[in-house]
Amino acid sequence: MAKLLPILFVVVGLIGGVAAGMLLRPAPAMAECGDKDDMAPMADGGEAMTEDCAEKPMKKKAKAPMVPTSFAELEKQFVVPILKDERVVALVVASMALEIDEGTDEAAFSKEPKLRDAFLQVLFTHAHSGGFDGDFTAQTAIEDLKGRLYEAAQDIVGETLHDVLLTEIVRQDL
């Protein structure tokens, strides 16, 4: 019996670990945050919409690639402080560019102050919700951030916008 006890502990530990992993896995991302009519089914058969849509990654709608595009790089970097207990513990520095319809560069640059304001609001919200903690460069985290930046820019630039590109992103702990 004394020889079977360690084997029994290993088996029970494995079963418990698998069960905990299945219970604690992250929920599948929803296709799009929107009205109740826009809900997409989740992999487990449930509904994708929750009361707090801001916690779910956002996806942008694909545009037809037939239109020639150009890139409008925003000249100044974005600096976002990371706060813990009312102290700045890190800074995130990001550079961005817009992929827009060719020939609409001037229109986009004329709206740069509004774009910077909208982007900073998104970046501060992302930082406040812990988006720059841990592995902030994980694919889901970057897709979520880019989706929110895209939505903010589309409200300002309009249908000429194809994508928001993160050309640089760095976190410097202090």
pLDDT for position 51: 45
Output phi, psi for 13, to 5 deg.
-65, -40
The distance in angstroms from the start CA to the end CA of the chain is: 56
- What number is the average pLDDT over the span 73-77? 90
pLDDT for position 149: 94
pLDDT 10s digits, 112-121: 999 999 999 9
- What number is the average pLDDT over the span 15-40? 62
Helical (H) or strand (E) element with 69: strand 69-73
From CA 28, how far away is CA 34, in angstroms rounded? 16
On the question of pLDDT at 36 being above 50, the answer is no
pLDDT for position 120: 93
On the question of pLDDT at 170 being above 80, the answer is yes
pLDDT for position 67: 78
Can you list the domains of the chain with their CATH numbers?
1-56 (no CATH), 67-173 (3.30.479)
Where do we find the tokens 């994508």? 163
From CA 72, how far away is CA 98, in angstroms rounded? 5
pLDDT 10s digits, 42-71: 444 444 444 444 444 455 555 555 778 889
On the question of pLDDT at 41 being above 60, the answer is no
From CA 160, how far away is CA 111, in angstroms rounded? 13
pLDDT for position 28: 60
